[in-house]
Amino acid sequence: MKTSDKHAGGGNSGGNVPIPLSRPVITEEDVQAVAEVLRGGWLTMGPKVEEFERAFAQAHGFDQATAVSNCTAGLHLALAVLDIGPGDEVIIPSLTFVAAANTVVAAGGTPVAADILSLETPHLDPASVRERITPRTKAVMVMHYAGYMMAPEPWDALRTDHGLKIIEDAAHAPLAPGAGGIGDIAVFSFFSNKNMTTAEGGMILSRDERLQERCRLLRCHGMTSTTTVRHNQPLLGYDVTEPGLNCRMDELRAALGLSQLSRLPAWNAERGRLSDRYRSLLAAALPDVRVPFTPDHPSCWHIMPVLLPKGAARDAVRLCMRGLGVQTSMHYPPIHMFSCYSGMPGSEALARTQEFCEQEITLPLYPGMADSDVVRVVAALGQALASSRGESGGSA
């Protein structure tokens, strides 16, 4: 994935320059922050990681955070510190990234798929989750689809009624209102297409100090002291109290993360403004294209999902848009449709997920995208829909 070395704002409209699905914003400050670490000589798990953890925790209203190598590693740790293992079931949405199922399987557990609420609110449906609870159910993994926040109340009720743990996959939701506060433990992603990036990276939030402490232990092989501490206390050794992994974050990424975090509020706001622009243009030009969630739903607007009219030839639409210089994607191919997860428990009744996934395409959205690019994307979508229906024109 390419980076832009300035916060462009100028967009791609000066001709037929392709409009990418997403584009990380890398500023000169980011470059300087990483270069400074390289010149300093301490490359991993040092003061920058600690500073990044403190800043991210504080920005989300938490006392502490644990930086990790990526969100998937964070989900592995979350499952481990909640003692999820062989024989345990974890209920997940099928409408999410496959890391949800993969990490449960890697822990030795069984992922169980549940349906979404509706096409308008494609969040995990608490009623569908309740139908799938068995004596083996240990946890539910919820996900703030597209950066739109899930309501906390149903998950609090599940915790109280069934003693379930809630794992919050907050990959899409840094600085979304209330992010990190729904789960017993929450994990964020800083992959290069996310709202802020460290190229690869992730962060764990939890108000449970014991969970955080155990995440820190397991993040570094289960060792009871870190390299930094031993650097300052040369005779200090370490014990290994349980088998851990290497899920550490390095100083370069932490420096980049700190620099990115300082601009995240402005970037999220810009994503929100661009999403509103999409909503009004689509409502005026293509009213049969629906946008999930209401415009006032609390969000950090990670991506721009839309639902094509029923029966639209999605592949043809996407190909045509590609030809017009507009990159699109799908969020997500549902997990139960992958060959590896075909027939997964719960997948026999996922009608709303199925319908959503058949109609969804994701449009470009990133800070620095010009309003004229949004106009171009909506026009391309109109043209693609018209041509997929065999019409000659199709203006938007």
Ligand X SMILES: Cc1ncc(COP(=O)(O)O)c(C=O)c1O
Q: Which of 48, 138, 165, 194 is catalytic?
A: 194
Question: Rounded to whole angstroms, what are the CA distances from 150 to 60, 176, 227, 285?
Answer: 16, 10, 38, 30
Name the amino acid, one letter, at 346. G
CB of 106 vs ligand X, minimal distance in Å:
13
Contact 143, 94 (CB under 8 A): no
Rule CB under 6 A: say whether 143 interacts with ligand X. yes
324 Cβ contact partners less than 8 Å away, ≥ 6 residues apart: 380, 383, 384
CB of 240 vs ligand X, minimal distance in Å:
25
CB of 386 vs ligand X, minimal distance in Å:
32
Stretch of residues binding ligand X (CB under 6 A), selected from 39-47, 70-78, 249-257, 313-321: 70-78
User: CA-based angle 327:169:30, to the nearest 5?
Assistant: 60
Beta bridge partners of 201: none
Contact 147, 173 (CB under 8 A): yes
Q: What string marks each residue from 111 to 130 as x (binds ligand X by CB under 6 A) or -?
A: --------------------
Q: What string marks each residue from 167 to 196 as x (binds ligand X by CB under 6 A) or -?
A: --x-xx----------------x-x-----
Q: Which of 52, 56, 62, 97 binds ligand X (CB under 6 A)?
A: 97
CB of 172 vs ligand X, minimal distance in Å:
6
Cα dihedral: 160, 164, 165, 166 (round 10): -80
Number of residues that bind ligand X (CB under 6 A): 13
Beta bridge partners of 362: 305, 329
Ramachandran assignment for 380, one of left (phi > 0), alpha (psi -120 to 50 degrees), beta (any other): alpha
In the bound state with ligand X, the residue whose beta carbon lies nearer, of 191 and 267, is 191
Rounded Cα–Cα distance for residues 165 and 216 (Å) = 19
CB of 365 vs ligand X, minimal distance in Å:
14
In the bound state with ligand X, the residue whose beta carbon lies nearer, of 203 and 223, is 203
Rule CB under 6 A: say whether 70 interacts with ligand X. yes
CB of 316 vs ligand X, minimal distance in Å:
26
Q: How far apart are the first and last CA of the chain?
A: 30
3-class state of residue 214 by DSSP: helix
Rule CB under 6 A: say whether 99 interacts with ligand X. yes
Stretch of residues binding ligand X (CB under 6 A), selected from 20-28, 93-101, 209-217, 263-271: 93-101
List binders of ligand X among 193-222 (CB under 6 A).
202
Rule CB under 6 A: say whether 94 interacts with ligand X. no
**Phi, psi for 24 (deg, rounded to 5):** -65, 145
Stretch of residues binding ligand X (CB under 6 A), selected from 111-119, 164-172, 178-186, 370-378: 164-172
CB of 192 vs ligand X, minimal distance in Å:
9
194: annotated active-site residue: yes
Rule CB under 6 A: say whether 96 interacts with ligand X. yes
Rule CB under 6 A: say whether 305 interacts with ligand X. no
In the block, residue with structure tokens 């929100």: 272
Provide the H-helix boundaries in the chain.
28-40, 47-59, 71-81, 99-106, 126-131, 153-162, 209-219, 227-232, 251-285, 314-323, 351-359, 371-388
Stretch of residues binding ligand X (CB under 6 A), selected from 92-100, 104-112, 278-286, 366-374: 92-100
Rule CB under 6 A: say whether 72 interacts with ligand X. yes
Question: Rounded to whole angstroms, what are the CA distances from 296 to 149, 155, 167, 204?
Answer: 11, 22, 25, 27
In the bound state with ligand X, the residue whose beta carbon lies nearer, of 362 and 387, is 362
A 10 A CB-CB count for 315 gives: 10
Catalytic residue IDs: 194
Name the site residues for ligand X (rule: CB under 6 A): 70-72, 96-97, 99, 143, 169, 171-172, 189, 191, 202
